[in-house]
């Protein structure tokens, strides 16, 4: 059925269109971090929770666009208005917002399926109905103001993106710090009601202007080819995939928090705003120039995330923003007549779903490492113009050869194979190798930049740099990879003479989960965070001296290193959410702390610790160790007052809770001390520095807080000068309704600048 394009009287003012679209977009993008924030404590606080949530919202957005497209096939605008208002009211039946408990607790083996189902039941209907508003109102606007078809509807799209961007930025800066989570959900539900009223007012204005019967149908625009649709889908899929890829890079090494989630999404929306401007703030020509340099830098640093967090963050965010911008500018250059609005938006949304779903669900099955981010970053370069005068001449091919040679030499430095040149490089020392690698990768980048005028040659240069940079970053012997919903595990080996030779290491991202020496003399020696000299080791040694048998709970399994403290008569219960970690750590072919070194009983409980600890009997444990890492990130929901009260209820009257808080990028020690005080317990804190006179990997520097019900539980440690009284320094305690990872990041950056811990 075709649609009438007869003009409506100007009874519906243009500002009411813009306001309604603005409010709907703000609600759509406010609810995304809000709902993800609610489900985090149920799924372990993993960065994958946000990626899977975002993929769900992209799917719901597509459903909304398809619904809007179908609604437009009804010729009478009055019928469209009635149906859409009815759908919005029906969708409001799930409000106020809350996480649906219909599916019960998530299964550790199928967390993504549980998350998608729960989000569908909790917010799917109102989100999809809201999502339909932008394309639907743009189509109504095109009929109300037919003389403005080329500018008006796209202006509403800009208003939609502006509302989305402001909502995203407001959530971590204003909403999350100032409003408890329960109040946020109520306020959002009230905002949904305000939006329905606005839409009803707009519908009433259009109703009065609409003819009682549809006018004669006219052909809206030329037919759109399937090739054009395929291009729309592809150009939309690439930025969507990159958005989730760069989000994983950031949240894996810091934490799962809205202020980190929204940054890539906000940049993503900003590229739409710039691309759809009549006079773009960044012209397509300038975007191509800047993207050439930024993407080469991002490719060179794609593996791993640099230790200098802000520098790496800047490189990857810049490369992502400019790459997404050139894709969206290419998309805008191919946009159709306003009569094909809903068709265009469906293809854009479908591309977003494909890109997001690829990262969230397909890539973990296809790849054992996070290959999708650098791979899509390289493939995105094909969206650049293909060729121009003299772009594929001898000079371009020579530059490509120089790029490959420099990147290859940098990779060889990291993986010496005994060649004379490599032996000479090794003789220069590690620092000189590092500087030579930087020089060679810079030369490769400059050579690659010279072929930027041809998308095909530039893609080859980016690929060379990404592969060379990845190899140059690997300075250990990786023997195995495993990947699942919660991330990538990597087993590697390194020769440590002080530990009798080879040492096995298990890493998640850039952080070690644990290590074990292969030498029989040191095989059952707890290393790194668990060495006898560390705060964790000090607690276990003291408890061993005081008790003939221990009941121990450990949140976070890792390699099972702490099981080296398991004596005959002791009982250790590990709480672990990631089935891959349990699989690797309990296989003696990889690590044998649990199978060889533990002398007492060892049990395993799978699932999020906040849920599974709640099922344990009160007063069970003598020692409860909280050591749940996801790369360098500590799930914030395990460091709240509510969590600390749960821990205290599960230890004996004289028991002790250990909070392991080491983190390169966040100051977790200060809020943890505030939490300890607010929970009603007593606490001591220690900042431990590794003794450099000991062999490498024998111990590591770490921050720890110990917590007990009363001073008697910490009496032995209070007499130890290494422990000091807890002091929160005025920082408010975190709760399930309030966390402030942004403040923790700022404090860590300040401490690095002053040279303090």
Q: Is the CA virtual torsion 599, 601, 606, 607 positive or negative?
A: negative
pLDDT exceeds 90 at position 646: yes
List of residues 6+ apart from 737 with CB closer than 8 A: 180, 181, 182
Specify the pLDDT at position 366: 85
List of residues 6+ apart from 698 with CB closer than 8 A: 498, 499, 527, 531, 533, 690, 691
CA dist 446 → 43, 449, 465 (Å):
44, 5, 11
Specify the pLDDT at position 174: 82
For residue 669, give both structure tokens.
């020690």
- Pairwise pLDDT comparison (739 vs 490), residue with the higher score: 490
Q: Is the CA virtual torsion 707, 709, 715, 719 positive or negative?
A: positive
* Chain centroid, CA 397 distance in Å: 38
CATH topology of domain 526-754: Rossmann fold (3.40.50)
pLDDT exceeds 70 at position 235: yes
Specify the pLDDT at position 523: 93
- Angle (nearest 5°) at CA 159 between 158 and 162: 85
CA dist 105 → 206, 577, 607, 611 (Å):
47, 12, 9, 8
What phi and psi values does residue 741 have, to the nearest 5 degrees? -70, -25
How far is it, in rounded angstroms, from Cα 660 to Cα 647?
A: 14
Mean pLDDT of 505-529: 87
List of residues 6+ apart from 679 with CB closer than 8 A: 641, 644, 645, 648, 707, 733
Highest-confidence segment of 18-27, 217-226, 252-261, 396-405: 18-27
Mean pLDDT of 73-80: 83
- 730: DSSP letter: T
Specify the pLDDT at position 723: 94
Specify the pLDDT at position 722: 93
Specify the pLDDT at position 314: 82
In angstroms, the first-to-last Cα distance of the chain is 68
Mean pLDDT of 581-607: 93
- What percent of the chain lies above the pLDDT cut of 90? 29
How far is it, in rounded angstroms, from Cα 4 to Cα 72?
A: 10
Mean pLDDT of 202-220: 62
At 4, is the pLDDT very low, low, confident or very high (cuts 50, 70, 90)? very low
Mean pLDDT of 633-643: 81
Specify the pLDDT at position 98: 87
Mean pLDDT of 282-292: 87
Specify the pLDDT at position 419: 45
Specify the pLDDT at position 583: 93
| SS3 of residue 311 by DSSP | helix
How far is it, in rounded angstroms, from Cα 137 to Cα 199?
A: 9
What phi and psi values does residue 368 have, to the nearest 5 degrees? -90, -10
How far is it, in rounded angstroms, from Cα 159 to Cα 152?
A: 11
How far is it, in rounded angstroms, from Cα 632 to Cα 54?
A: 22
Specify the pLDDT at position 289: 85
Cβ neighbours around 1 below 10 Å, total: 8
Residue 467: closest CA among 410, 426, 413, 419: 410
- 524: DSSP letter: T
How far is it, in rounded angstroms, from Cα 306 to Cα 315?
A: 10
For residue 682, give both structure tokens.
């007593």
Query: What are 259-271's pLDDT values in tens digits?
Result: 667 788 889 988 9
Specify the pLDDT at position 150: 45
pLDDT exceeds 50 at position 9: no
Helix crossing, 284-300 with 372-379: angle to 10°?
150
Helix crossing, 669-678 with 741-754: angle to 10°?
130
Would you list the DSSP string of 484-508? ETTEEEEEEEEEEGGGTEEEEEEEE
Query: What are 534-561's pLDDT values in tens digits?
Result: 999 999 999 999 999 999 999 989 899 9
Specify the pLDDT at position 626: 93
Residue 702: closest CA among 545, 529, 555, 586: 529
Specify the pLDDT at position 447: 66
CA dist 546 → 530, 538, 543, 571, 662 (Å):
19, 12, 5, 16, 27
Cβ neighbours around 222 below 10 Å, total: 10
Specify the pLDDT at position 654: 93
Query: What are 687-727's pLDDT values in tens digits?
Result: 999 888 888 889 888 899 999 999 989 999 999 989 999 88
Query: What are 94-136's pLDDT values in tens digits?
Result: 888 888 888 888 877 788 888 899 999 999 999 999 988 888 8
- 429: DSSP letter: -
Specify the pLDDT at position 605: 94
Would you list the DSSP string of 576-630? ES-HHHHHHHT-TTT--IIIII--SEEEEEES-HHHHHHTSPTT-EEEEEE---B
At 328, is the pLDDT very low, low, confident or very high (cuts 50, 70, 90)? very high
At 77, is the pLDDT very low, low, confident or very high (cuts 50, 70, 90)? confident
How far is it, in rounded angstroms, from Cα 311 to Cα 221?
A: 48
List of residues 6+ apart from 249 with CB closer than 8 A: 305, 316, 370, 373
Query: What are 354-395's pLDDT values in tens digits?
Result: 998 898 888 888 888 778 888 898 888 888 887 665 456 666
How far is it, in rounded angstroms, from Cα 669 to Cα 674?
A: 9
Specify the pLDDT at position 296: 81
Query: What are 12-49's pLDDT values in tens digits?
Result: 567 788 888 888 888 988 888 888 878 877 776 666 77
Mean pLDDT of 612-623: 94
Residue 506: closest CA among 592, 607, 625, 598: 592
Specify the pLDDT at position 752: 64
Mean pLDDT of 189-198: 92
Residue 634: closest CA among 174, 200, 158, 47: 47
Instruction: Tell me the average pLDDT of the chain.
Output: 81
Mean pLDDT of 45-61: 81
Query: What are 425-476's pLDDT values in tens digits?
Result: 555 555 555 556 666 666 666 666 777 777 777 777 777 777 776 655 555 5
How far is it, in rounded angstroms, from Cα 713 to Cα 696?
A: 34
Mean pLDDT of 285-301: 83
Specify the pLDDT at position 705: 94
Specify the pLDDT at position 252: 63
Residue 377: closest CA among 324, 315, 453, 452: 324
Cα-Cα-Cα-Cα dihedral of 12, 18, 22, 28, to 10°? 60
Query: What are 621-634's pLDDT values in tens digits?
Result: 999 999 875 555 56
pLDDT exceeds 50 at position 149: no
Residue extents of the structural domains in the chain = 14-214+224-383, 394-475, 526-754
* Chain centroid, CA 335 distance in Å: 31
Specify the pLDDT at position 559: 92
Query: Domain 14-214+224-383 carries which CATH code?
Result: 1.20.1250.20
Would you list the DSSP string of 120-177? IIIIIHHHHHHHTHHHHHHHHHHHHSGGGTTTHHHHHHHHHHHHHHHHHHHIIIIIHH
Helix crossing, 430-449 with 394-414: angle to 10°?
160
């Amino acid at each position: 059925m075709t649609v009438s394009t007869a003009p409506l009287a100007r009874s519906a003012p243009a500002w009411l269109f813009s306001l309604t679209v603005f409010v709907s977009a703000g609600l759509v993008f406010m609810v995304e971090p809000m709902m993800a924030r609610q489900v985090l404590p149920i799924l372990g606080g993993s960065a994958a929770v946000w990626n899977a949530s975002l993929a769900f919202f992209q799917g719901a957005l597509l459903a909304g666009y398809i619904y809007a497209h179908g609604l437009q096939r009804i010729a009478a605008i009055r019928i469209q208005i009635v149906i859409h208002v009815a759908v919005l009211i029906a969708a409001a039946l799930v409000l106020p917002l809350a996480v649906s408990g219909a599916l019960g607790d998530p299964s550790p083996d199928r967390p993504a399926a549980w998350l998608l189902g729960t989000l569908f039941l909790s917010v799917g209907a109102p989100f999809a109905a809201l999502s339909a508003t932008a394309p639907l109102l743009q189509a109504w606007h095109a009929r109300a103001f037919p003389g403005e078809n080329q500018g008006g509807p796209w202006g509403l799209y800009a208003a939609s993106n502006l509302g989305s961007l402001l909502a995203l930025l407001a959530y971590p800066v204003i909403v999350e710090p100032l409003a408890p989570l329960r109040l946020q959900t109520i306020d959002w539900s009230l905002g949904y009601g305000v939006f329905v009223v606005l839409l009803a007012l707009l519908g009433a204005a259009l109703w009065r202007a609409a003819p009682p019967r549809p006018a004669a149908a006219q052909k809206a625009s030329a037919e759109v080819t399937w090739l054009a649709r395929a291009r729309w889908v592809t150009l939309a899929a690439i930025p969507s995939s990159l958005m989730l890829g760069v989000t994983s890079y950031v949240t894996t090494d810091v934490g799962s928090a809205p202020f980190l989630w929204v940054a890539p999404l906000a940049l993503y929306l900003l590229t739409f705003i710039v691309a759809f401007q009549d006079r773009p703030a960044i012209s397509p020509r300038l975007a191509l120039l800047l993207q050439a340099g930024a993407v080469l830098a991002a490719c060179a640093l794609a593996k791993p995330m640099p230790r200098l967090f802000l520098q790496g963050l800047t490189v990857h965010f810049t490369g992502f923003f400019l790459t997404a911008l050139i894709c969206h500018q290419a998309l805008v250059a191919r946009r159709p007549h306003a009569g094909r609005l809903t068709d265009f938006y469906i293809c854009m949304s479908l591309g977003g779903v494909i890109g997001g779903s690829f990262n969230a669900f397909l890539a973990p099955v296809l790849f054992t490492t996070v290959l999708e981010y650098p791979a899509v970053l390289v493939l995105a370069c094909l969206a650049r113009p293909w060729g121009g005068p003299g772009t594929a001449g001898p000079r371009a091919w020579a530059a490509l050869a120089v790029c490959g040679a420099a990147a290859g030499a940098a990779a060889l430095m990291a993986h010496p194979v005994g060649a004379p040149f490599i032996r000479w490089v090794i003789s220069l020392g590690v620092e000189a190798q590092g500087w030579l690698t930087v020089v060679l990768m810079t030369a490769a980048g400059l050579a690659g930049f010279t072929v930027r005028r041809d998308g095909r040659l530039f893609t080859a240069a980016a690929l060379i740099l990404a592969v060379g940079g990845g190899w140059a970053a690997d300075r250990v012997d990786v023997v195995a990879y495993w990947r699942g919903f919660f991330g990538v595990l990597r087993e590697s080996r390194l020769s440590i003479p002080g530990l009798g030779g080879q040492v096995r290491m298990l890493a998640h991202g850039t952080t070690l989960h644990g290590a074990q020496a292969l030498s029989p003399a040191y095989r059952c020696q707890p290393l790194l965070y668990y060495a006898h000299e560390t705060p964790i080791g000090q607690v276990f040694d003291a408890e061993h001296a005081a008790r003939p048998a221990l009941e121990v709970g450990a949140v976070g399994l890792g390699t099972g290193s702490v099981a080296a403290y398991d004596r005959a008569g002791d009982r250790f219960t590990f709480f672990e959410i990631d089935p891959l970690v349990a699989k690797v750590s309990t296989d003696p072919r990889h690590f044998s702390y649990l199978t060889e070194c533990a002398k007492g009983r060892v049990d395993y409980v799978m699932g999020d610790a906040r849920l599974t600890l709640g099922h344990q009997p009160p007063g069970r444990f003598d020692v409860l160790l909280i050591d749940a890492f996801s790369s360098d990130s500590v799930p914030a929901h395990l460091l709240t007052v509510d969590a600390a009260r749960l821990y205290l209820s599960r230890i004996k009257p004289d028991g002790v809770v250990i909070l392991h808080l080491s983190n390169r990028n966040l100051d977790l020690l200060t809020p943890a001390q505030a939490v300890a005080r607010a929970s009603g317990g007593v606490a001591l804190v220690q900042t431990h520095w590794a003794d450099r006179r000991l062999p490498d990997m024998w111990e590591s520097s770490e921050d720890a807080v110990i917590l007990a019900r009363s001073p008697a539980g910490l009496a032995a440690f209070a007499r130890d000068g290494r422990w000091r009284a807890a002091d929160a320094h005025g920082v408010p305690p975190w709760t399930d309704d309030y966390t402030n990872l942004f403040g923790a990041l700022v404090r860590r950056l300040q401490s690095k600048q002053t040279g303090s811990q």
